[in-house]
Each structure stands twice: as C-alpha cells, then as structure tokens.
Amino acid sequence: MMTWKQHFTSSVGKKLVMSFTGLFLISFLVIHVYLNAQIFLPDGKEKFLAGAHFMGTNAVTRILEVGLVIGFLLHIIQGLMLWSQNSKKRSAGRYAVKAGNATSKWYSRSMGLLGTIVLLFLIMHTSHFWIPNRANQFITGEEIDLYEKMRITFQNPVVVVLYILGCISLAFHLVHGFYSAFQTLGMGTARYKAIIRNTGIVFSIVVPILFALMPLAFYLHWIE
Ligand code: HEM
C-alpha cells in the first residue's frame, strides 16, 4: 500500500497533481480571457470594469483566489520536482541514443523552461495589476481603475514585448499541458483522444493570441 506521502511524491502522483492543478489553472484562464476581452467590445471600458469589480469584491471569488494561489504554488513546486527528477534520469546516461524529435516535440521537452518563462511573466504581471490593486483595497478600501492602469502600463514598448513573449511561452506550455493533463487522467478511445488533441491545440493558440492582443491594442491605440 502506498502512503499518502508516496501518492504525492511518486512519479505518477506528481503527474496527477500537475494534471489537476493544470486543468484548474486552465479554467482560470478561460474566465480571465473572457472578462478581459470585454475591452474589445463597444463600451468595453465599462464592461471590463464591471467584471473586474465583481471579481475583486465578492466573497466567492475572493475565496477562489486563495485556491488559485495554492493551485499555482502546487503546480510550480511539483513541476520543478518533476523537471529535476527527469533531468537527473537523463544525465545518468541510461539512454544511449537521444531520441530528439522522433518521440517528442521540443516544447514537450522544454516544459520546465517554458514554465519558468511563464512564471517570470506572472511575477511581472501580478506586480503590474493584482498586487497594487489588492494593496490599495487593503490600505484605502478603494479599487484601482484597472482599465486606466492597463492603458498606462501598455504605453511602454518593452512591457508590451515582454507580455507578447509571455503569451508565446504560455501557448507552447499549453499545447503540451492541455493534452498531457488528459493523458495522465486516462482518455479512452482514439476518437476521444483526437478531439482532446484538437481542442487543446485550438485553445492554446486562441487564448494566448487574445491575451497578446490586449497590450498591443492599447499600445497601438486600437482602443483608448
Ligand atoms: C496579456 C494580457 C493580460 C492582461 C491585459 C491581463 C490583465 C490582468 C488584470 C488587469 C488583472 C488584475 C485583476 C485584479 O486585480 O482584480 C490580472 C490579474 C491576474 N492575471 Fe492577468 N492579464 C493578462 C494575461 C494573463 C495571463 C497570460 C495569465 C496567466 C498565465 C494571467 C494571470 C493573472 C493572475 C494569476 C492574476 C491575479 C488573479 C486574481 O485576480 O485573482 N494574466 N490580469
């Protein structure tokens, strides 16, 4: 019998944690991109601010926010552990031949690197919006005008480029992550697998493009 500790620390246990937390983070991205994409609609500013106000002030989403932080931490810690475990196995020289592209794509072998770039993006991103907003709420009880904050933040071309690079890394991280999350959970028939594969690819392209268009739209004054 496996102990609880072994469930989490075994290779399969780690992959299960990655898969559950990954799917949870994907569901966050769906809500995040949906709410933020309101900026592209007529009256986008009002629509976006109403959504941000709702998400930032009601009890349910504030509790979910704690879950989100825990989800990110588990995903990052387990990811780093899987990555170091796999690189140890590789450097032990047990495989005489490097399979290269024959058995996996470069982005599947670079999940640690892509994840690290997404993490660096997240540190920058939360210090742009989330941290100042929560700090302001805590100190003055008032929310920041996040629309105005985005408009100003995205006047800086370096920031815009870093956001776009973050979105590209996220896209490749998701292409592998989306499919392998379902693979870890067991996917059933071949037809089902193809549907998940294709849904994953479309998701991983559409969502990061929508995100990347946001800083770009402010920078190029497509929206004011
Ligand atoms: C590229 C376009 C993006 C824009 C314009 C954007 C904008 C924002 C804004 C305005 C907030 C503040 C919400 C608040 O303080 O209530 C926020 C929060 C957040 N964003 Fe983004 N975001 C983008 C992409 C992303 C991506 C790609 C990720 C994840 C990989 C992400 C993860 C987060 C997280 C974790 C938070 C804090 C969550 C929370 O409010 O509880 N964002 N974002």
Averaged pLDDT score across all residues of the chain: 91
Q: What is the pLDDT of residue 9?
A: 67
8-state DSSP, 85: H
Find the Cα–Cα–Cα–Cα dihedral 161, 167, 173, 178, rounded to 10°: -170
Residue 194 lies in a domain: yes
**Closest C-alpha residue for ligand 1 atom 14:** 130
Domain count along the chain: 1
Report the CATH number that the domain containing residue 39 is assigned in CATH.
Answer: 1.20.1300.10
What is the CB < 6 Å shell around ligand 1?
32, 36, 52, 55-56, 65, 68, 118, 122, 125-126, 129-130, 133, 146, 150, 163, 167, 170, 211, 214-215
Q: What is the pLDDT of residue 2?
A: 59
Tell me if 114 sits within 8 A of 169, measured CB to CB.
Answer: yes
| pLDDT above 80: residue 16 | yes
Reported pTM = 0.91
**39 or 58, which is more confident:** 39
8-state DSSP, 101: G
Domain extent for 34: 9-90+104-219
| pLDDT above 70: residue 197 | yes
Q: What is the pLDDT of residues 136-182, one digit of tens each?
A: 999 999 999 999 999 999 999 999 999 999 999 999 999 999 999 99
Which amino acid is it at 26?
Answer: I
Residue 98 lies in a domain: no
Which pLDDT band holds residue 95 (cuts at 50, 70, 90)?
Answer: low
